[in-house]
Amino acid sequence: MIQATIITIGDELLIGQVIDTNSAWMAQELNRAGIRVVRRVAVGDVWDEIWNALDEESKHAQIILITGGLGPTADDITKPLLCKYFGGKLVVDEGAKQNVINIFNKLNRPMIERNLLQAEVPDVCTVIQNKRGTAPGMLFNKPHPTSPAGEEIVFVSMPGVPHEMKGMMEDEVIPHLTKKFKLPVIIHRTLLTAGVGESFLADLIQNFEEALPTQIKLAYLPNYGMVRLRLTSSGFDKAQIEKDIETQFSQLQLLVKDYLVTNVDEPMEKVVGKLLLQKNKTMCTAESCTGGYIAHLLTSIPGSSEFYDGSVVSYSYGAKEDLLNVNHQTLLTKGAVSEEVVTEMAKGALQNIKSNYVIAVSGIMGPGGGLPEKPVGTAWIAVGSKEKIVAQKVFFRFDRARNIQLTAVTALNLLRQFILQNT
């Protein structure tokens, strides 16, 4: 199989100032095209380190994708380095120059000489025009150091700005690679389970896993109270691969049916959204400890206005009383983190927002604020409708961020179950 390496360049990646989202997205796109990513390498803005990474990765892959270091400032050294690495000289690309001029004219901003330097590229590269920014991409070919058949390694350098890199990958890079290399088809089938641990699942499907054909691989992907199970196969006979993997995937779904959320690779919030759309219903949220995170998950879905009405983020006692009609005496006697309070929050949200369904949450996410009877990680979740509200106490043992994420996903799953059981 054709193999690829992704090299990301920038000191900001190594010190944790910027999180590398480019590599994950690129790996997904390459995998869909039938290209296997074998290595991901991050290097700083250091000449020798970048040079050595290019040399080393040339031993492992036929495709090397590079992001970062193409800006107009002195610390952006990728372009002059690549020019020297491939034995070229910098020249002005007229298409890239006009692109820079057009962008600055459109923005009505003054342009300086440094901006025009963005249009300089090595004369030994194929220019990839940047439809979303000023820095062009560059494609190079180099003989493979260990191949006796004269095979070439493809190097592609792109900006580190995700929006710009994605445009180049989709419009130019992936089409070029699929044309240049004979690529197999890679097929994944993924399902999502909830309410069961990875170890229990492994025991449950042990015989199935041991009996899988050698060309089909099973992966466990645990995350935030859920476990995804993924079957993968690859080859050049697409019809046969699809048939084989579908047979095994059907068996797998039957084995985990008691914990199955969806047989599509999608997050819990999208599962809930699709369910609401199918039933032509809407929902709202009343959030305390999650601070609007559930609303964020739901509204990140395009078209969520069709099923999501809104949220009340009621962090204080006063907000719970004024915005959700929670009884003051209930708060004093039971505390904000209680079955009684989340039930009243849910009823208040339904009354004020007028949705068909509701999620209400209140908890102690940490690191402080815990009590012996309500330790950090304790949360109460209420879900339901005007006819019925059910509440459940949960406990998570992690840091604040993960406790919030787990509470949100658990709440969404509880609403999913409620809708299925009460319609």
pLDDT the model gives residue 180 = 93
pLDDT at 150 over 90: no
The burial class, CB within 10 Å (0-12 / 13-18 / 19+), for 341 is buried
Which residue from 65, 68, 54 is spatially nearest to 2, judged by alpha carbons?
65
Residue 149 vs residues 132, 145, 146, 209, 316: alpha-carbon distances, Å: 38, 10, 9, 39, 70
Cβ neighbour number for residue 383 with a 10 Å cutoff: 27
Q: Kindly tell me the sign of the dihedral angle through the C-alpha atoms of 334, 340, 341, 342.
A: positive
Flag the least confident range among 60-74, 139-153, 254-268, 307-321: 139-153
* Residue-range domains of the chain with CATH: 3-180 (3.40.980.10), 185-262 (3.30.70.2860), 268-421 (3.90.950.20)
Q: What is the pLDDT of residues 10-49, one digit of tens each?
A: 999 999 999 999 999 999 999 999 999 999 999 999 999 9
Q: What is the pLDDT of residues 324-373, one digit of tens each?
A: 999 999 999 999 999 999 999 999 999 999 999 999 999 999 999 998 99
If residue 38 lies in a helix (H) or strand (E), which one and from where to where? strand 36-43
The burial class, CB within 10 Å (0-12 / 13-18 / 19+), for 226 is buried
Which residue from 80, 86, 65 is spatially nearest to 143, judged by alpha carbons?
86
Q: What is the pLDDT of residues 266-285, one digit of tens each?
A: 999 999 999 999 999 999 99
The pTM of this model reads: 0.82
In the DSSP assignment, the letter for residue 60 is T
Contact 76, 106 (CB under 8 A): no
pLDDT at 204 over 80: yes
Q: Find the mean pLDDT for residues 88-116.
A: 90
Which residue from 70, 75, 54, 61 is spatially nearest to 7, judged by alpha carbons?
54
| Amino acid (one-letter) located at 11 | D
